[in-house]
Each structure stands twice: as structure tokens, then as C-alpha cells.
Structure 1
Amino acid sequence: MSAFRSMLVVVAGLALLIGSSRATATAEPQYPVPYDLFVQDAVRDPYGSAAGSNDWNCVPSAAHPEPVVLLHGLGANRFNMFTTISPLLANEGYCVFAPTFGENASLPAPFDSVGGLGRLEDSAAEVGEFVERVRTATGAQKVSIVGVSEGTLVGNYYVKYFGGAHVVDKFVSLGPAWRGTLGTGPNGDGQWILDLAPDDARTLIPFCAGCPQGLPASDFLAKLWASDAGSYAGLYAPSVTYTNIMTRYDQLVIPYTSGYAEAPNATNIFVQDQCSQDYSDHLAIAASRVATGYVLNALDSESTRAVPCVLVTPFHGG
């Protein structure tokens, strides 16, 4: 073999090696998806982010041009609520982002990492600021939201009152509490609790101003349901597509039908209707293969897939 031909072989080999290295370096990262919220890292690093989320260099793909913003529930944060959903969506090619909103900075560490404690209106404003940061970083015109529990109320308040209706495409709710929870008082609406203190409620639960706002008789929910010419059922923004995913074993949203609200742009799903083996409670629904299957289909209705039916245990998921 001539020296020239040998040189060509070496150059070709180097080109293949470099090309292979580039392909590996630019391949989509794959994250383990634990169908369990109680993973070690979420306990060890309460100020962190769930795997696959908050990569501010993420560029939305052509298949999934809209980033997904995850909104946690009461007493949770951007990490521990999304140890399942975040890596699952990232593996599907979504840019995933999640804030912790409503923290109480006066609490000692690590309790200052607990979210959802502030006034829900204030948390909705925080979400609005976070969404704008996501849009600026990614260049996306719109985002989709996946909210859990209190995150559904905060997220939809942002949609209705802080401009979110113009930038949110799909709104997926897990364990939504549209009509509030604990409607079990003498008159069936929770007013007996609110009568103990003003609706502002900082005097009722000093460290959690948002807690009583999830009661059925709260002023917050009344405003969330306020009808206007641009809303369906008084609740939904008509420009947004809603999917409500609920469990009949919800022990915190009472009654479990609180999140069921019909409208032309809303789909209501009880996971047990298609899978009797799903025993997820209010917490485990965020780590359920069944529920997250519905989440994937709600976010990408043009590429729906069969939702699995497997055993899902309370508290942990599966």
C-alpha cells in the first residue's frame, strides 16, 4: 500500500472516529425512570431538580416543540414530586422545566425547600415569571403544563389571570382539585373550617397561607370559577386543551370527583376505568405507569399509544 493510500485510510478512520464521537455526544440522554416518588436523591438533595429537568440549554425538538412545565402540589417541590414524570418526559424528547413555588423562607433548612405554602395568587405569579424564563431560554412560543394537586389550581389561575391563556397549549392535571377538598363540614362545603379565621388564613395556619384556599368555600376558588365571556364552565380558558387524570382512591382530594369538570376542551379520566389494578392514591398517581401513560397521550395526541394496565400500589406507585 502506497504512503498516499495509507494516509487516506488513516484520515478516513479518524473521520469515522470523530463522527462517532459527535453522534454519541449529541445523542439524547436517557434517564432511569423510577415509578416511585421516594428515591434517595430526592431526600438527600431537597434543593435539586429531578432528572431530566431544568436544563436551560435544552433546545425543543421538531417532534416536541413545546417545553413542558411541571407544577408540584402542596408540601412538595420541583424535585420530589417529579422523580417519575420528569425523566419520563425527557426520555421522550421534551424539554422539561419545573419551579418550586410558594416556599416559606422563614422556615429553617431544609424546610425552606417545601413549596406550595404561599398564597396561591402569589404562586401563580411566580409560575408566570418562570414560564417567561422558559420561553426566553428555549425560544418557544408556547408551553404545556403538567400540574399535580395544588399545582393544578396555581397553574390554571396563572392561565386565567396572569396571561397564561396566550402561551399555554395543553394543561394536564393529576389529582386536580377544581372544586377544592375536604367538603365534609355540616353544610358540605368546608365553610365550617373557614369560619375559624379569615379567608386570608395566615392567622389560621401561619406558615401556610395557601392551605385554606383549597377549601371549597374559599374566595380563591370562587374567583377561579368566575365566569366571563372567554371561559368554559367558568373554569377553563377556551384556547387551552385540558386533561384531568384522577383516581377513585384519592384520600386528599375529597370527594375524588372534585377534579371532574366537563367542557368542550376538557377530557376527564379516572385511571380505574381502564385499569382496575391501579390503586394509586393522591400521592402515587404521579408515579403510576397508568396515569403517566395518559399524560404522554395528552401531551402528544397525534402519537397516542396504548396505556399500560399494571399493578400500582398506594403511596409508592408502580
Structure 2
Amino acid sequence: MLPWKHSGKRPWKRALRPLAALLLAAAIGLAPAATATAAPAPTSGWNDHSCKPSAAHPRPVILVHGTFGNSVDNWLALAPYLVHRGYCVFSLDYGRLPGVPFFHGLGPVDKSAEQLDAYVDEVLAATGAAEADLVGHSQGGMMPRYYLKFLGGADKVNALVGIAPDNHGTTLGGLANLLPYFPGAEDLLSTATPGLADQIAGSAFLTKLNAGGDTVPGVRYTVIATKYDEVVTPYRSGFLDGPNVRNVTLQDLCVLDLSEHVAIGLWDRIAYHEVANALDPAHATPTTCASVFS
């Protein structure tokens, strides 16, 4: 008699899980190319100030990069994904330190929020829209909350979607886990980086940001987290409390999704499908492992 018949366990099922995860990871990487082949590419990219929102998508979407990111590299996959779906999409650079090119999001987070404030006004003026939707990765999902809470942003923003945001902070060790993804960034730790200090759990900035509640009235909040996050730890610290909040763990949508902190923002189409649902909840469809092909 085979040993597993005594225990009732099926080792072949356990063996298939890594294979299924590998196939899913391959699908995530290949799906954008397959989609581009199946349908015409968008006729214009993002940051097109002549773009006018449609009746179906009446609000421009502003993408807010994370720490060490910038307005281009953070969004090489998500921006075209949303443009292809008919959105006017914009992205900004913020938090740049003097003399530090390419790596942004390192300046004081409250000053970065002021830059976001100015950029939202610029986008609204260009598009003629009354409100915008914000989608941010990592710090970019947390920093806009300062804009909403202290700079009057709640009157100009309909929804904030945070992809692995550090809403309640992390440790410097967690932030240091980002460094291998950005060659040369480690040298920046020897310089003054107030944007990193502001994101450490218990910082004066985060204490102020979260005092009196996580949310403000009139804004819909979505947080998309991954249990494999090695930067925001524990990953549930990114979740928000309050009305009009939806907290989502990626693996509850697709147990095979292995994305960690960087991957969930840079190329995970399962997370992107949930972003699209958050931007247009009236036409949301279930997010599953098959969403890599959507």
C-alpha cells in the first residue's frame, strides 16, 4: 500500500503547486505581449495633456511612483494597461533630492505631497475634469493621504488606490530591501534621505498622518497588498481603517500569485485587474488567476 493512503494526503497535489506557480509567473510575464498582439496598440501613451476623459472614464488617473522610483520606470506596464482601457493617464516625479538624478521619492514626504497637489491641479486644468483618481505604489500609495488630509485634496480626488502602500510605516531594514532592485541606490543611504526617515514606523510624519483616523470623507480607498511583501512588514500594516475602504490581499484573489513588494507594482496584471475594478467599481469583474490574460 502506498504510504500516502494511510494519511489521506496527496503528495502529487503538493508537487503540482510549485509548477502551477511557475506557470502563473510565466503567464504574468507573457500576458502583456499576448494582449498587444490580440488588439491594436493604443494610439497615444500617457502624460498626453491633450487627452480628454470620456463619458465611460470621466476622471484622469494620476500614477504616483514609490521610493527610488520615477514617473516612467514605475509605470512601464500599468500606464499602457490603463491607456488601453480608455483612461487618460498621467504620472509625476516627486521627492527629488538636489544632485540626485533618476531616484526620486527621497525628499520629505509632506513636501512631496505639495508637489502632488500642484500636479493634480495641472492635470485637472488640462483635462477639464473636476476630480482625479490616484493610483500609487509603495510610498506613492501612502503619500497622497497627506495631500487628501491636510492640503485640500479630498475636494479634487474621487479615489485613492494603493498598491503595497506603507500606510503605517515599515522599518529601515524593510526599506533597505528595495536597494538590490535599484543599482547605485545603496550609495544614497550615506546622504540625507528624509523621505526614508518619514516612512519608518513611529516617525513623527506617520504619527501626524494617522492621528484622528486613516481616511477622510468623500474619498474611496482601496489597498492591494501581497503577503509576500518584504518591504512593508507586516503586510497588513498597509491596510486602512475607515468608511469607504476596501482592503485586498492579492493571494485571496489568486493563491498562486507570488508577487512581492516590487513585482506587485511593476508587472502584476492580477493586481492591475483589481486596480481597474477600483477605478470603475460599477463595471468590476471578479479578479482571479485568469486575470493575467485580461
TM-score per shorter chain, which class?
0.7 to 0.9
Any residues of structure 2 matched to 1:3-152 within 5 Å, and which?
A: 52-107=45-100, 112-152=101-141
Equivalent residue, structure 1, for 2:153: 164
Q: Retained in 1: the 8 A contact 2:214–2:241?
A: no
How far did residue 308 of structure 1 move?
3.5
The letter for the 2-side match of 1:300 is: D
1:280 to 251, 259, 268: 259
Q: Retained in 1: the 8 A contact 2:149–2:216?
A: yes
Q: Which stretch has the larger CA shift, 151-160 or 165-174?
A: 151-160
2:276 to 277, 280, 296: 296
Counterpart CA distance in 1 for 2:129 and 2:173 is: 43
Equivalent residue, structure 2, for 1:11: none
Structure with the bigger RCO (C-alpha within 8 Å, sep 6+) is 2
How far did residue 205 of structure 1 move?
5.3
Q: Find out whether 1:258 has 2:251 as its counterpart.
A: no
TM-score (norm 1): 0.71
Larger helix fraction of residues: 2
The letter for the 2-side match of 1:304 is: A
Counterpart CA distance in 1 for 2:68 and 2:173 is: 22
- Percent identity, please: 39
Structure showing greater Rg: 1
> Aligned with 1:170: secondary structure?
strand
Q: CA RMSD in A?
A: 2.5
TM-score (norm 2): 0.77
Equivalent residue, structure 2, for 1:226: 211
Q: Which runs of 4+ in 1 moved over 6 A?
A: none
How far did residue 183 of structure 1 move?
8.4
Q: Retained in 2: the 8 A contact 1:148–1:174?
A: yes
Q: Deviations for 1:263-297, whole angstroms, at most 9, x for unmatched residues?
A: 22100000101211100000010111211110000
Q: Retained in 2: the 8 A contact 1:183–1:254?
A: no
Q: Which stretch has the larger CA shift, 301-310 or 83-92?
A: 301-310
Aligned length: 241
Q: Retained in 2: the 8 A contact 1:66–1:144?
A: yes
Unaligned stretches of 5+ residues in structure 1: 1-33, 40-50, 186-203, 228-233, 313-318
Equivalent residue, structure 1, for 2:200: 215
The letter for the 2-side match of 1:301 is: P
CA 35–155 in structure 1, closer or farther in 2 if over 3 Å, else same:
farther
CA 297–311 in structure 1, closer or farther in 2 if over 3 Å, else same:
closer
Equivalent residue, structure 1, for 2:286: 306
CA 162–255 in structure 1, closer or farther in 2 if over 3 Å, else same:
same
CA 35–126 in structure 1, closer or farther in 2 if over 3 Å, else same:
farther
Q: Which stretch has the larger CA shift, 303-312 or 268-277?
A: 303-312
The letter for the 2-side match of 1:91 is: H
How far did residue 310 of structure 1 move?
5.1
Equivalent residue, structure 1, for 2:169: 180
CA 182–311 in structure 1, closer or farther in 2 if over 3 Å, else same:
farther
